[in-house]
Every structure is written in structure tokens, then in C-alpha cells.
Amino acid sequence: MIIGNNGVGPLTDAFDANYLNGSSFNSGSGGTLSSMSVHVGAVGTAPNNKFQIAVYGDAGGPGNLIAATGIGSLTGQAWNTLPITATLAANTNYWLIYNTNANSGSLNDMTYKNGGLGAYSNPINFGAMPASFGSSNTGSWTYDIYGTYGSSNPSPSPSPSPSQSPSPSPPPTVPGPLQTIVGASTIEVNDGTTFAAIFDRNQGGGISRLYDLTRDPNRANNLGPQPGYTVFNSYLFNANAAAWGLIGSGSATTFAVTNQSAESTTVHVITPYHCEADPPGGSCLLGDVTAESWTTIYPGGYVFFERRIITGSTAHTLQNAAPASVDLCLCSSLNGIFDGAGSDTSYPSPFDVHAGNGSEQWWGQYQNPTGSGPSLGVLQSAYQDSSFGMNFTDMRLIVGSAYLRSHVTARTESSSTLKANTTYIARYRGWLSEFANSANAVAMTADYRQPALIVTAGSLQTNDSELGASGLVSGYNPGTGRYVVAPGSAGQVDTMLGFPAGVTVRFRPSFKVVGWNGGPLVVRWGGSVLTAGVDYRSSTDSSGALRVSLDFDVVAGQALAGQRQNAILSFSNS
């Protein structure tokens, strides 16, 4: 529940800097605010990109200060959120007020619409909200500014038109806790209700079998590719070779679970590039090149992996490369999808085509079943452009029953060089889900490539011992999908997700708390205690770090089923 206006108006204000600007709103049922948000247009460069928001009482215009946020940094053309604690009486008018420090009248300005009641102050230096608003100038306009109640209902009724949102519709079955089953040459990871993925040492350690447990609980239909391939595959074509080298057509040399719990499982694999059996007996000339990967899977089929291509003492000139593909079954219900495709069904089985332009940030396969067949699809998003330092020129689609396996990937279609004794690294996000479609892929990729987190108690980490990650943006490790934070002196973490321009949903965010002191875990959302196993899942790794994954998506505005509106997230012992 909110007080204020969470729509984006058609107009942009001017000269907001060094003035108090805001609008009057009624508190409704009242409660305690946990955050305040404001939508702005173009933003100046640092240090002239700061802002602050506050709540003032009503005295026929803005009156005395009730509470103020700290100072934050703005993102242009986006909602910007800061934590606050302010208790508002029911059915009472309050003023939500904004100030900023731009050095131009056309920067850092709020968006708004006509109508309602707005006000601005006499000039005032940015830096601290005054105890009293002072003289005000009022008029008929409503700024795009609102506060979020910590006691708001976290699970509002679903919209009658969920297709209007880029977030997934609520699944018919809630994902269960992860189960990890280690066999002699296989590792199965499933959540009991939505997916089962089986890694196979003899197929490069990758996922060879994939099942839609929602619609196919008896596992009658393997959505994984035929032997010789793997779901998240990698292809290299050495100059003068007769065949592609890939990671799915031979045995892995390292095949192990490095972390497993109900919250997440990580599989570590090292495998040579084996020669594709098409043509039979063809040489791929990649005998000293290996692929190393760490794949972390969460309930609901959320996947994150870091892949490394490692060369030996020989440099390799490649005539083509497709280092990150999605390979599935020879199934006529599949459609190839990618960033920029016209629709989910533009490239149905049995399409065999080159498309796109090489700048695609995501690709995958959408399942369009008939009758009661499986509906699970697979998405893959790249965290970086020019993965592995390669320049891609198109998307290669061999869809459904067209040939050998259903295959969608970005390809270079030109020569590139792998230097000797060099490690090339790229990170990806995947999704094994019946909601794998273009709309969700766009939203998920924006979430992945634009991490943002504010920490008000504790600290963001710039490094993570896991995968040797360094230079983390907002504490985010893209190889594991976790924000990495540390508690403050009181042993607590208070944090809030950010929503830069283009980010509409944070999909089931996950956190790693290093330096956790153990003891009972209490997780709060907007001040309300969450329930373990229902609202979140947690585990502790071998280093003693706490891992917490939320079992809901987070949005900045109105929440649908399976979502909660953004609020302060806290980890503590009490």
C-alpha cells in the first residue's frame, strides 16, 4: 500500500534544484512508511545528481517536517527509492517533498501531471530538509512521488490481465525446495514441482535431460537434446578443422557438486572440447582447449553460470564460434526466440535460418505445446557484451525438428583468435520455466545486467571469494546471481533493491552475507518478519557465509500475485 502517485506523468518539471517541490496526498488507512520513491527525467553527472525526499504535515500547505530520507544518487528516466521510517495517521493529508542539487534547470526534475495540489518553496540550499517548509507557492499539479507502507499487503490479488506486466504470471504450482541427487555419472537437481535437470558426466557434464514437472510429473518427455549435446552448450570451429568442437559429446574430467541445499545447488564441471559427430570422425583440432563452468540453480529453475574457455600452449584461430547456445530436443512444439525477434512464434519448428545482428543480449526457446504436453522453455541472458572477447554477427536458429537438435545461439561467422595459455570468462543467466517467453526475457535481462542495491546497515562487498569475483557492481556477483553484503557492527544488514531505468522486476533476488555470526536468522521485509520456507530459503556455505533467496519477485510499483512492492530487507538475529 502506498501514499502518493506511482504513475509516470506526461510532463517534466523544471528548476527543481535547490527548491522544495511536492504534492499533497491523503494517507488512507495510514501506517509506517518504509521507503519513498520519486520519478525524474534527465539527470546531471556526479556530484550534481543527489536527491532527498521527505514527508511534511499539512497546514493549508506544507507545514512541519515529519521525517526525511538520507541523501541518494539519481538514475535518469527512472524511479529512485530511498528508505525512511515515518508513521502516518489514517485519513490525514501529508505533503511528499523532493529536493535535489542539479546545476541546470533542465536536470534532476520530477515528472508530473496536471490536476491535484502541488507546491514549491522559496529557494533553499540542498543538503538538509528544513524543520518547517516556510512560505509556499501552490498550484494544480501532481508530482510522481510516493511512499510505501511497510505494513502494506505483500500479496495483492492478481491482475485480471497479467500479460500487461513483463513479470511472470503466478505458476500453478509453487516451487518446492531444491533436491540434489548424486549418482555414479549424473547429478539431478529438481524442485519437486516445476523442473528436473539432470547433469551427465558423459555429455560434457552438462544438462542432458530436462523435464517439465508441472505438466509432465511422470517424466515421459525429455526436453533435453539427444546424446552428444547439452542444454547450455558451447561450440568452437577451429580453422582447417573438419568438425565443430563442443562440450556435450564426450566425458567431463571434473564433475562435482560444490554446494547443495534446499536454497541452491552449484555444479562444477571441467571438460575438453570434443568433436561433434557430424560429420562422423571429423577432426576439430581443439585437443588442448577446455571449458570450466560453475552452474548454480535455484528453485523455480533460475540458473546462473560462469563459463571459462581455457587454452593450452597452442593459440587457435577460429573460423566460427558459438560459445553459448541453448540446445533442446527434436520437438515440433519449440520456437526460437531472441532479443529483437518479432514475436514468440516468429521462428517455429522446423525453421533453419540465420537472423538477428549479433548484438542480442538474450536468446532461447519458447515452448508452444498442443494438448497437455510440456510447456517448459529455456532462456539464456549474457551479463556482458562481446562474451569471451568475441564479436558476434548473427543468431543461428535450427529450431525444433529441423536437424539433430533444436539449437539457438549467437555466432561470430568470422575468424577470431584464442591466445595460448589464456583464460576467457563470461557469465550468463538462464531460466528453465513454462514462463520462458520474450516479455519475461527482456525483464529478466534488464534485472541481470543492471544490479542495484542500497545498504543502510552493513556494507556492500566489492569482491567475493566465490569464483574469485572482483569489481562487483552494487555487490552483485553475476556468476552466482547473489548480492554480496556484510553486516554492520550490530550484526545486522538493512538493504533495499534499486530500480534503474528499464528495470521493472527483480526476479527472486538472492543475497550472500559474509561475516555472518551465526545464531537464529530473522528476515524482515518492510519491518514485517518473513516466514522461512514460504517467503525465503536460506543456507550457510562451507565458509560460514549466509545465503538467503527470496521466494517472490520485487517490483517498484503495484505488485501482482507472486510479487511484493520494494521495501527494506533486513537480516538479523532478533
Looking at residue 275, what is its pLDDT?
A: 94
Q: Identify whether the C-beta of residue 485 lies closer than 8 Å to the C-beta of residue 532.
A: no
pLDDT value at residue 166: 40
pLDDT recorded at residue 168: 43
Query: Which grid cell sits at 125?
Result: 540550499
CB atoms within 10 A of CB 371: 6
pLDDT at 369: 66
Q: CA torsion angle for 204, 383, 298, 268 (degrees, to 10)?
A: 30
Among all chains, which residue has been given the C-alpha cell 500453478? 172
Q: Are the CB atoms for 319 and 449 separated by under 8 Å?
A: no
Nearest to 376 by CA among 511, 500, 211, 487: 211
**Residue 126 CA neighbour count, 13 Å, CB half:** 22
Query: Which of 167, 68, 198 lies closest to 446, judged by CA?
Result: 167
User: How far, in Å, CA of 552 to CA of 255, rounded?
Assistant: 31
According to DSSP, residue 168 is labeled P
**Exposed (0-12), middle (13-18) or buried (19+): which is 7, by Cβ within 10 Å?**
middle
Q: Given phi > 0 = left and psi -120 to 50 = alpha, else beta, which region is 127?
A: left
In this prediction, residue 159 carries a pLDDT of 32
Q: Give the residue carrying C-alpha cell 515529519.
A: 66
E strand intervals along 50-110? 50-58, 62-68, 72-73, 78-88, 93-100
At a CB cut-off of 8 Å and minimum separation 6, what does 560 contact? 156, 158, 159, 162, 165, 167, 170
* DSSP 8-class letter at 469: B
**Cβ(97)–Cβ(56) below 8 Å:** yes
| Ordered alpha helix ranges (H), 94-153 | none
First to last CA, the chain: 26
Q: What is the CATH number of domain 2-149?
A: 2.60.120
Rounded Cα–Cα distance for residues 223 and 151 (Å): 43
Spans in the chain with pLDDT lower than 50: 151-172
Assess contact for 178 and 510: CB atoms under 8 A.
no
The pLDDT of residue 100 is 95
Supply the pLDDT for residue 542: 84
What is the chain's percent helix, strand, coil content, to nearest 5? 5, 45, 50
**Tens of pLDDT, residues 114-148:** 999 999 999 898 988 999 999 998 889 999 999 99
Alpha-carbon 437 to chain mean position = 15
Per DSSP, helices labelled H in 192-292 are none
Residue 513 contacts residue 522 (beta carbons within 8 Å): no
Largest CA distance in the chain: 85
Instruction: Indicate the fold that domain 179-446 takes in CATH.
Output: Beta-galactosidase; Chain A, domain 5 (2.70.98)
Q: What is the DSSP secondary structure assignment for residue 91, as one 8-state letter?
A: T
Cell of 574: 532478533
Report residue 32 as a C-alpha cell: 509506517
